[in-house]
Amino acid sequence: MTPTITAFERSPDRGKGLARDMRVRWALEEVGQPYHVRLLTFKAMKEPAHLALHPFGQIPTYEEGDLALFESGAIVFHIAERHAGLLPDDANARARSIAWMFAALNTVEPPIFDRALASIFERDEPWYEQRLRALEDSIRQRLEQLSGRLGDADWLDGAFSAGDLLMVSVLLRLKGSGLLDEYPNLSAYVARGEARPAYKRAFDAQLAVFIAASTG
Ligand SMILES: N[C@@H](CCC(=O)N[C@@H](CS)C(=O)NCC(=O)O)C(=O)O
What's the CATH architecture for 91-196? Answer: Up-down Bundle (1.20)
Please tell me if the CB atom of residue 71 comes closer than 6 angstroms to any atom of ligand 1. yes
> Could you read off the pLDDT of 53-81 as tens digits, one per residue?
999 999 999 999 999 999 999 999 999 99
> Could you read off the pLDDT of 1-16 as tens digits, one per residue?
999 999 999 999 998 9
Say yes or no to pLDDT of 215 above 90.
no
Rg (alpha carbons) of the chain, rounded to whole number? 17
> Could you read off the pLDDT of 125-182 as tens digits, one per residue?
999 999 999 999 999 999 999 999 999 999 999 999 999 999 999 999 999 999 999 9
Report the separation in Å between the CA atom of 152 and the middle of ligand 1, taken as the mean of its atom positions. Answer: 33
> Could you read off the pLDDT of 109-134 as tens digits, one per residue?
999 999 999 999 999 999 999 999 99
Spatial distance between the Cα atoms of 23 and 62, rounded to a whole number of angstroms: 12
Report the separation in Å between the CA atom of 19 and the middle of ligand 1, taken as the mean of its atom positions. Answer: 8
Ligand 1 closest atom vs CA 21: 10
Which residues are 5's β-sheet partners? 37, 62
What pLDDT is attached to residue 21?
98
Please tell me if the CB atom of residue 27 comes closer than 6 angstroms to any atom of ligand 1. no
What pLDDT is attached to residue 200?
98
Q: Whose C-alpha lies nearest to ligand 1, atom 19?
A: 72
What pLDDT is attached to residue 182?
97
| Average pLDDT of span 17-44 | 98
| Average pLDDT of span 25-51 | 98
What is the pLDDT confidence band of residue 207, given thresholds at 50, 70 and 90?
very high
Please tell me if the CB atom of residue 173 comes closer than 6 angstroms to any atom of ligand 1. no
Contacts of 98 (CB under 8 A, 6+ apart): 77, 87, 162, 163
Side chain identity at 173, as an amino acid letter? R
Say yes or no to pLDDT of 216 above 90.
no
- Smallest CA-to-CA distance from 190 within 143, 158, 145 is with 143
What pLDDT is attached to residue 83?
98
Please tell me if the CB atom of residue 20 comes closer than 6 angstroms to any atom of ligand 1. yes
**Mean pLDDT of the residues in the chain:** 97
Q: Give me the residue spans of the domains in the chain.
A: 4-85+198-215, 91-196
Please tell me if the CB atom of residue 19 comes closer than 6 angstroms to any atom of ligand 1. yes
| Stated pTM of the model | 0.97
Ligand 1 closest atom vs CA 58: 12
What pLDDT is attached to residue 119?
94
Assess contact for 12 and 40: CB atoms under 8 A. Answer: no
Report the separation in Å between the CA atom of 89 and the middle of ligand 1, taken as the mean of its atom positions. Answer: 31
Ligand 1 closest atom vs CA 56: 16
In the chain, how many H helices and how many E strands? Answer: 10, 4
- Smallest CA-to-CA distance from 15 within 210, 215, 204, 198 is with 210
Q: If residue 57 lies in a helix (H) or strand (E), which one and from where to where?
A: none
CATH number of 4-85+198-215: 3.40.30.10
Same fold, 4-85+198-215 and 91-196: no
